[in-house]
Structure 1
C-alpha cells in the first residue's frame, strides 16, 4: 500500500535555468544539489514532498503535460512586489471566483504556479 507522497518530477531542456528560477526567484530551498543540475530536489523540509528537476536532454520528458504547483505565502501583495523586482513576469494578485486572493504565474517551461495567501 502507498504510505507516503514523495515528490513531483519535472524535466527541462534548461534544467539549470529552471532550478535557478525556483531557487533564486521564488526562494524555494535546494535540498539536494547536483553539479549537472540533474535530479535537483527543491522543497522546504526533507521529510515532505519535493520538486525534483531532471535534465530532459539526458532522460527525456518526465511527463506528457505541464504541471500545476500551488504554494502559500504570508503576504501576496508583498510577494508580488518581490517577484516583480526579481524580474519574474507576473500580473498583480486578483480575487478568485471562490473569494480568495491568488497570484498566478508560469515558470520558464510553462508550468503553472499559483500562489495563495494564507
Structure 2
C-alpha cells in the first residue's frame, strides 16, 4: 500500500484559540480564515517544505460533545531546553523538561483543545 501522511484534523468549539496557540509556537500559517467562518478551517504546516504534514483546525459543532485528543511527538534535536525557553518566551505556560523513566529528556504541554505535544 502506497500512502503518505498528509496531516491531522483538530476539532474545537473555540478553534481560533487553538489556532493562536499553534501560531505562538511558531507553526507556519498556510491558511487563516475569519473567526466567524462556519467551519473555521484554518491550516498550519507541521514542518517546513512542500507537501509536508499539516494541521487543519475546524470548528466543532455545538451539539457535538465528542472529545478527541491527539498526541504529537516532536524531535527537539537535543535542544529541549531551547524549545522550552521558546515556548515560555511565546507566553505559553508549561512545566519544564524532565528526565523520563527511559532516561531521555521530555517536555510535555497541551493545547487548548487538550491535545498533547511531546518534545523529545
Q: Which runs of 5+ in 1 are unaligned?
A: none
Residues 70-109 of structure 1: pairs in structure 2 closer than 5 A: 70-74=73-77, 75-109=79-113
RMSD: 2.3
Cα deviations by residue, 1:38-69 (Å, 9 ceiling, x for unpaired): 111211234022111001147947x6421111
Q: Residue 59 and residue 22 in structure 1: after superposition, are their counterparts in 2 closer, same or farther (change >3 A)?
A: farther
Deviation at 1:95, TM superposition (A): 1.5
TM-score scaled to structure 2, two decimals? 0.80
Q: Residue 46 and residue 60 in structure 1: after superposition, are their counterparts in 2 closer, same or farther (change >3 A)?
A: farther
Whole-Å separation in 2 of the counterparts to 1:59 and 1:53? 18
What is the match of residue 6 of structure 1?
6
- 3-state SS in 2 of match to 1:108: coil
Count residues in correspondence: 114
TM-score scaled to structure 1, two decimals? 0.81
Q: Residue 64 and residue 46 in structure 1: after superposition, are their counterparts in 2 closer, same or farther (change >3 A)?
A: farther
Cα deviations by residue, 1:75-108 (Å, 9 ceiling, x for unpaired): 2112212212322221111112222211001111
Q: Which runs of 5+ in 2 are unaligned?
A: none
What is the match of residue 33 of structure 2?
34
After superposing the two structures, state which structure 1 stretch, 33-42 or 76-85, moved more: 33-42
Whole-Å separation in 1 of the counterparts to 2:41 and 2:63? 10
